[in-house]
Amino acid sequence: MQALRCLPGVGPKSAQRMAFHLLERDRQGAFYLAERLADAVDKIGQCKTCQTLTASEECTICSDQRREQHLLCVVETPADVVAVENATDFKGLYFVLNGRLSPLDGLGPAEIGLDKLAERVKQGQIKEIILATNSTVEGEATAHYIGEMAKKYNVSASRIAHGVPFGGELEYIDSGTLSHAFSGRSQV
Amino acid sequence: MQALRCLPGVGPKSAQRMAFHLLERDRQGAFYLAERLADAVDKIGQCKTCQTLTASEECTICSDQRREQHLLCVVETPADVVAVENATDFKGLYFVLNGRLSPLDGLGPAEIGLDKLAERVKQGQIKEIILATNSTVEGEATAHYIGEMAKKYNVSASRIAHGVPFGGELEYIDSGTLSHAFSGRSQV
Q: What confidence tens digit (pLDDT) does each residue in A57-94 have?
A: 999 999 999 999 999 999 999 999 999 999 999 999 99
Residue of chain B minimizing CA distance to A177: B166
pLDDT at residue A183 is higher than 90 = no
CB proximity under 8 Å: A 137-176 to B: 143-144, 147, 156-171, 173-176
Task: Tell me the nearest-neighbour CA distance from B179 into chain A, angstroms.
Answer: 5
pLDDT at A149: 92
CA dihedral of residues B118, B122, B126, B127 (deg, nearest 10): 110
Q: What confidence tens digit (pLDDT) does each residue in A101-115 have?
A: 988 888 888 889 899
Phi, psi (rounded to 5 degrees) for B172: -105, 10
Q: Which residues of A touch B91 (CB under 8 A)?
A: none
Asked if B115 and B86 touch (Cβ cutoff 8 Å), the reply is no
Decide if B170 and A84 are in contact by the 8 Å CB cutoff. Answer: yes
pLDDT at B95: 95
Decide if A80 and B135 are in contact by the 8 Å CB cutoff. Answer: no
Beta-strand pair A186-187/B156-159: antiparallel
Residue of chain B minimizing CA distance to A130: B185
pLDDT at B166: 87
Sketch the domain layout of chain B as residue ranges: 4-43, 53-187
Beta-strand pair A93-96/A71-75: parallel
Question: pLDDT under 50 in chain B at which residues?
Answer: none
Other beta carbons less than 10 A from residue A175's beta carbon: 13
Partner residue opposite B188 with nearest CB, options A157, A175, A176: A157
Q: Any chain B CB within 8 A of the CB of A42? A: no
Decide if A83 and B159 are in contact by the 8 Å CB cutoff. Answer: no
Least confident of A128-137, A172-181, B35-44: A172-181
pLDDT at residue A47 is higher than 90 = yes
pLDDT at B73: 95
Q: Which residues of B touch A157 (CB under 8 A)?
A: 187-188
Q: Please, which pLDDT band fits residue A182 given cuts at 50, 70 and 90?
A: confident
Asked if B66 and A157 touch (Cβ cutoff 8 Å), the reply is no
pLDDT at A180: 86
Q: What confidence tens digit (pLDDT) does each residue in B20-50 have?
A: 999 999 999 999 999 999 999 999 999 999 9
Average pLDDT over residues A6-12: 94
Asked if B22 and B32 touch (Cβ cutoff 8 Å), the reply is no
ipTM over 0.95: no
Decide if A182 and B170 are in contact by the 8 Å CB cutoff. Answer: no
pLDDT at A169: 87
- Which amino acid appears at position A102 of this protein? S
**What gap in Å lies between CA B120 and CA B129, rounded to an integer?**
11
Q: Comparing A183 with A35, which gets the higher pLDDT?
A: A35
pLDDT at B105: 87
Hey, of B169, B175, B183, which one would you mutate to test binding to chain A, going by the most A CBs within 10 A of its CB? Answer: B169
Average pLDDT over residues A16-30: 95
- Give the residues across from A54 on adjacent strands: A45
Question: H or E segment at B46?
Answer: strand B45-46
Asked if B74 and B100 touch (Cβ cutoff 8 Å), the reply is no
Partner residue opposite A165 with nearest CB, options B132, B174, B185: B174
CB proximity under 8 Å: A 77-136 to B: 77, 79-80, 83-84, 86-90, 130-132, 134-136
Asked if A162 and B164 touch (Cβ cutoff 8 Å), the reply is yes
Decide if A179 and B87 are in contact by the 8 Å CB cutoff. Answer: yes
DSSP chain A: -TGGGGSTT--HHHHHHHHHHHHHH-HHHHHHHHHHHHHHHHH-EE-TTT--EESSSS-TTTT-TTS-TTEEEEESSHHHHHHHHHH----SEEEE-SS--BGGGTB-TTTTTHHHHHHHHHTS---EEEE---SSHHHHHHHHHHHHHHHHTT-EEEE--BSBPTT--GGGS-HHHHHHHHHT-EE-
Decide if A161 and B159 are in contact by the 8 Å CB cutoff. Answer: no
pLDDT at A124: 86
Indicate the CATH number of A53-187 among 3.40.1360.10, 3.30.300.30, 3.40.50.1820, 3.30.420.40. Answer: 3.40.1360.10
**What gap in Å lies between CA A28 and CA A36, rounded to an integer?**
12
Q: Which residues of A touch B83 (CB under 8 A)?
A: 170-171, 173, 175, 178
pTM for the model stands at: 0.80
**What gap in Å lies between CA A62 and CA A131, rounded to an integer?**
18
Phi, psi (rounded to 5 degrees) for B12: -55, -45
Task: Tell me the nearest-neighbour CA distance from B171 into chain A, angstroms.
Answer: 5
Decide if A181 and B161 are in contact by the 8 Å CB cutoff. Answer: yes
**What gap in Å lies between CA B83 and CA B81, rounded to an integer?**
5
